[in-house]
Amino acid sequence: MIPALVVFAYLGVVFYIGIFAFRHPGGGGKAEDFFLAGRSLGGFVFLLSLFGTNMTAFTILGASGHAFANGIVTFPLMASSSALVIPLSLFFVGTRMWSLGKRHGFITPVQFFRDRWECGHIGTLITLMQAALLVPYIIISVMGGGTALSAVSGGIVPYWLGGAVVAMVVMGYVFFGGMRGTAWVNTFQTILFLTFGTLIVVVIGRGIGGFPAAVESMAASPVFAPLLSRERFSPWVYFSYTFIPLSSIAFPHILIFCLTARHKAQFKKTVIAYPLCLLAIWLPSVFLGVVANQMSDIPAIASKLEARQELAASPTPALREQARGDDVLVIMLEHYAPAWLAGLLGAGIMAAVMASDSQILALSTMFTEDIFAYYGGKARFGERAQVQTGRVFVVAVTAAAYLVALSRPAQIFDLAVQYAFTGYASLCPLLVGALFWKGSTKWGALASTLWTGIAVLGIAWMQSRSTAPFLPFGLLPAMPVTLISAFLLWSVSVFTRKPGALTLQKYFRG
């Protein structure tokens, strides 16, 4: 229980940061302060909290689990394209969204969409679609918390209790601290997992006798050698994965976070530092996931390797559950690190796992601004009631995500890529069209939004019938879904009525 107690102590510190943010001047009643931290985040906090918001259980546990099963290709599939696409999207899209938000007082993306396209209920539909696609991402973090705490404690803390503890802590500091508490916690957590990420590599590397020996042993094995090759996937698969990072800027919690910066110049430093921070997280996560295949002396990993071999011949749900690798990183820590150090490093992993705070706050912000306030709640009950409604919504969303996470619907990597990332990549054309193309219309946005919902439901239906890829060349669904979404936005907008001249002049000068 020593590592688990260290992690619990860390969770207590995180919860206190949220309480401290609640006591900050202005932390109580005003909507803009609760949801956007008064648009006053400094450069250091903005960079680390924005990066920490993107680095979730998908990165630490999902990436290492995917690399455990698929090999070193996990890095070029996701990290390489993300290091290019995400900083560019922050620079071009994030800065423009920040300028418009500051000029016109927008708190959510849909407030901008409604004003830009002169639409009402279509904006509500976009809000509901964004909310539905964000829920899987919150579920991922609850799953990651349950997995990490269970592994760190050696199974003494069961998965359901670990997930509940993480959900309660996150819900607590988001409930009290709002955006300011979320940003401070993310800054603290980012420093923690960037520091401990390096330490994890050193500790495990010494425990296995050095990484060169482990890699050479894998290269000499006909079973494990393919895991060290990037040629297992075709160029088409790599190309389809470049569509996944497009989802980042379309995530409402990222867009809302862009509105919290104090100065526009903060984005420049973020664009430069973001790829370096991403490398520091993804490289050890993927590499440790790959070399875990060489650690058959660890009983928990040996059982996963056996289950994976049996799974190829008999794909049953029980074997698939046993073979999943989301917890291999924590298992290695438990085996190679002293108990107290395993607890500290486990706290570093939890720091990345708990990044669901921004998603929960974003859902609360969207509900109170785009639904409650838009349909008269704020005017009728006041701004303080709006904030309290947001806090109640935080509790409801966290509880719902926890209940779904109890069933462990899929591996963390697959759940994120197939649903959350694919859906938001498909919504990215809406954002680009609204910001940069004066010819886009609300009807084009409606067509693109409806298509996104239909496509994600179709993917879920296809995968419920078969676990095998259903697109040629092993392509990710994100590529055709996003391209069709962009085509629908363009084709429908061409033949439908544009917003009024005053609205276009407001957003497009000249």
In tens, the pLDDT along 120-153 reads: 899 999 999 988 888 777 777 777 777 777 777 7
pLDDT at 99 over 70: yes
- In angstroms, rounded to a whole number, what is the distance separating the alpha carbons of residues 54 and 141? 12
**How many CA atoms within 13 Å lie on the side-chain side of 424?**
24
pLDDT at 125: 93
How far the first Cα of the chain sits from its last, in Å, is 65
Q: Which residue has the higher pLDDT, 25 or 246?
A: 246
Residue 196 tokens, joined: 């401990």
For 179-183, 454-458, 494-498, which range has the lowest pLDDT when averaged over its residues? 179-183
- Cα dihedral value 108, 113, 119, 121, nearest 10: -40
pLDDT at 24 over 70: no
pLDDT at 352: 63
Long-range contacts of 309-317 (CB under 8 A, 24+ apart): 315/467
Query: Per-residue pLDDT averaged across 335-339, rounded?
Result: 77
- In angstroms, rounded to a whole number, what is the distance separating the alpha carbons of residues 27 and 182? 12
Task: Rank 168-177, 279-288, 334-343, 441-450 by mean pLDDT and report only the highest.
Answer: 441-450
For 79-88, 169-178, 266-275, 296-305, which range has the lowest pLDDT when averaged over its residues? 169-178
- Over the chain, what is the mean pLDDT? 82
For 229, the 3-state DSSP assignment is: coil
Model confidence band, residue 43 (pLDDT cutoffs 50, 70, 90): confident
pLDDT at 480 over 70: yes
**Greatest alpha-carbon span in the chain:** 71
**C-alpha of 366 from chain center:** 17
For 78-92, 323-337, 342-356, which range has the lowest pLDDT when averaged over its residues? 342-356
Altogether, the residues listed in the chain come to a count of 510
Residue bearing tokens 């989802």: 247
The DSSP call for residue 208 is T
Domains of the chain: 2-407 (1.20.1730.10)
pLDDT at 510 over 60: no
Q: Read off the pTM.
A: 0.81
Provide DSSP, 465-497.
Answer: H-SS--SGGG--THHHHHHHHHHHHHHHHHTSP
Model confidence band, residue 445 (pLDDT cutoffs 50, 70, 90): very high
pLDDT at 383 over 60: yes
pLDDT at 415: 59
> Nearest-5° angle of CA 97, CA 98, CA 104?
85
Residue 499 tokens, joined: 């917003």
